[in-house]
Structure 1
């Protein structure tokens, strides 16, 4: 029974912890059933955004006539595009595996792993049988998440469908794609497949797409998507079926209105669920919440002594960038014996659809009753460069407390994912809303949209743009 100083479960963000532990002189085991790099590198952020970049290029060409340029998309080499992205991320994952196998003090088990007790993990043998049992005083669980397929949808056992894992590696473009879901995965992949040439229909339960975002942002995104896709919102999907090679989605509203939506491929994009059951955390006595997320304290410790959890499986934030931050804290706490409480200064996120969305802090619906705050907005069209960009009704919205605190900032429009960073940097540095509003911005950069929203919230008037 191999005994280690530390065992890391999960080779996504966990790989960073394992490398740091080995470099610190600890005998380290890393257990990962798939490719190193986890969801982000292999099945999530990296391949999806590389593919979406191609979609953005195709979209720009299709709309070039709006700025007086004659251009057209005559062909999309879909299979080549997907193969190129797949090859790129696969090579990166294999390079991570090579480094792991060659790193002194690190043993890489590319195998299934499950808890046997609080400090023992069994890894599968090469033939799938029971293999080694690894023991360690310290364990870091970075076990990730997987696509969720709701039990409430009948027919998923008999009907072929895609999840985001599969959709990113298709080698044939669907003619008609039906997407079940209305969150960020549904929005991003609908944009990609539509611009590649698929007719996309979205069936979502919410009244708007991305309904966890600021209401005005969600409404604007929904309006933009309605121009490009067929939308059926406010519908709960009850069943899927295969009929003569077609996939058919059956859904209904709360009032009983029913629809049937056919397509030649079906994508179920209804969120993600933690892999706590796959790692058999119950055998270790690790407590989870009602959705299966591992519960952690401020130091990212689980309910079991010297067992930590980070990333999607912990559910604090389900972002790669938050997982990386948590990895830094766990390296300090589990590897170097510090007791630092995790902080997420200026945490923001983005949705890479068309238009892009970016958000930081609370939305108006999240703000407690009785809290005084001001709302400031600035449309892209109200700025010099923003007015020259494709008009999708983009804007920035700033929520500012009576003491100048930045309560939230929400952006929809070109480069929103980049523009939000001046706000999260300011928040992380302790700056207030007026400091953002008064900071000299390059003219005529589109970041003036952010400045305009904060000047409006702080009642400072137009910045002269």
Structure 2
């Protein structure tokens, strides 16, 4: 007989599934080696965006002269606000832990654990526990490539370390050019760090639509040393200085030096960290757990969600999966997940917001489309905000004008993209957004309206 009706392996978004199950009377185990709340609350979205806001405030003060306002920054209490941010979130995680310990029918194992077989786990203290049902929500971990010579011999930062630095480095070398590199590069630059980014693709944020990636790269080059098309080959350290040797495909090499090295080459599913090989759960070539639309694995009674499942490595997709999981595991529903119109955002400067397909994806699929564009400078609000760049781009079916994708780079793009997300989700057309929906004037959202209108030439 199983010890528990349900074992939830992972206390990030999985903690909400555990609580919902316990509240319905299921004997539930929650296994989490770190603080409750997981990556997003403790090491990811929450602290990074809170810190980035400090950078944005500093930069807005520096831009005040453009509005006829004389303002100076007398002091930046960098270490103080870094501690404040991390302490605030640590208090929230601690409160979550105490709440879990008080919940009826819920047992919290806050320690390392691993699978012994399909439905059995062994904790660090040597106890074994079985669950009739298991939800694997064990998250992800930073990618640390083994192919870079010397990387194991130097001290480097991951994003977890970077957001806890209490002094900005003088010179920071970043391996990678994705959203983590873009965001943290912007953050440290705002506080005086000379930042260099090394990205093997031909642009920064290479998973974005090509036009957005190119525009962001141009802007990033104004504040950073950017090496696109270069792959890090070797890392050495001498006298406290770290040197990265990077090579291009045609054999050209560059040496980039700094006081600190940040490895921001993406994240990988934490399947090896929990001994998933002891189970029969199937994974992809990249190590993600394979799930069906109901988030079930190939093993009866085992489901997976969050970063460890191959459905989108975002907190908002994880929250959505949590809702599906609660309905299916706790309430016996047969709800299917639908990741159509899953938006995402990059919180650098400028922000990026995107939903749906990119041009490259549509080209690869052989699908025809038309493009609508509008510049932020085409809107009245851009004059109020003194914006001199940024654009919205809409991809639509050439006949019906159904929106296939939308990509925004510019001020508050993370919010503007939600103007289009419902349209992509429910198959609305660019004409619907441009001509039927009334936009408040002179709200910045009119840049999206104008891009939609451009699809049909209105």
Q: TM-score range by the shorter chain?
A: over 0.9
Distance 1:451 1:54 in 2: 31
Distance 2:310 2:58 in 1: 35
- CA offset at residue 74 of structure 1? 3.3
- Helix, strand or coil for the counterpart of 2:29? strand
- State the match for 1:263 in structure 2: 258
Distance 2:202 2:419 in 1: 31
- State the match for 1:421 in structure 2: 418
- State the match for 2:40 in structure 1: 40
For residues 87-110 of structure 1, the C-alpha deviation after alignment (integer angstroms, 9 at most, x for no partner) is 111011111101100000100000
Deviating more after overlay: 106-115 vs 343-352: 343-352
- State the match for 1:395 in structure 2: 391
Distance 2:159 2:255 in 1: 22
- State the match for 1:208 in structure 2: 203
Cα 1:266–1:323 shift into 2, 3 Å: same
- State the match for 2:81 in structure 1: 81
- CA offset at residue 269 of structure 1? 0.4
Cα 1:72–1:230 shift into 2, 3 Å: farther
1:161 aligns with 2:156: yes
1:243 aligns with 2:241: no
- State the match for 2:141 in structure 1: 146
- State the match for 1:132 in structure 2: 127
- State the match for 2:373 in structure 1: 377
Distance 1:15 1:370 in 2: 42
- State the match for 2:91 in structure 1: 91
Please, which of 281, 289, 301 is the counterpart of residue 276 of structure 2? 281
Cα 1:390–1:208 shift into 2, 3 Å: farther
Distance 2:276 2:377 in 1: 52
- Contact 1:2–1:133 under 8 Å retained in 2: no
For residues 219-277 of structure 1, the C-alpha deviation after alignment (integer angstroms, 9 at most, x for no partner) is 11011111111111111101111111111111111111111111111101010011011
Where do residues 11-50 of structure 1 align in structure 2 (5 Å cutoff)?
11-50=11-50
Unmatched tracts of structure 1, length 5 or more: 126-130
Deviating more after overlay: 201-210 vs 59-68: 59-68
- CA offset at residue 286 of structure 1? 0.9
Distance 1:450 1:58 in 2: 28
- CA offset at residue 298 of structure 1? 1.2
Root-mean-square deviation (CA, aligned residues, Å) is 1.3
- Helix, strand or coil for the counterpart of 1:255? coil
- CA offset at residue 134 of structure 1? 1.0
- Contact 1:398–1:454 under 8 Å retained in 2: yes
- State the match for 2:114 in structure 1: 114
Deviating more after overlay: 411-420 vs 197-206: 197-206
Unmatched tracts of structure 2, length 5 or more: none
- Contact 1:181–1:270 under 8 Å retained in 2: yes
Distance 1:204 1:392 in 2: 27
- CA offset at residue 435 of structure 1? 1.4
Q: For this pair of structures, how many residues does the alignment match?
A: 455
Please, which of 400, 404, 427 is the counterpart of residue 401 of structure 2? 404
Where do residues 254-403 of structure 1 align in structure 2 (5 Å cutoff)?
254-368=249-363, 370-401=366-397, 402-403=399-400
Distance 1:78 1:246 in 2: 23
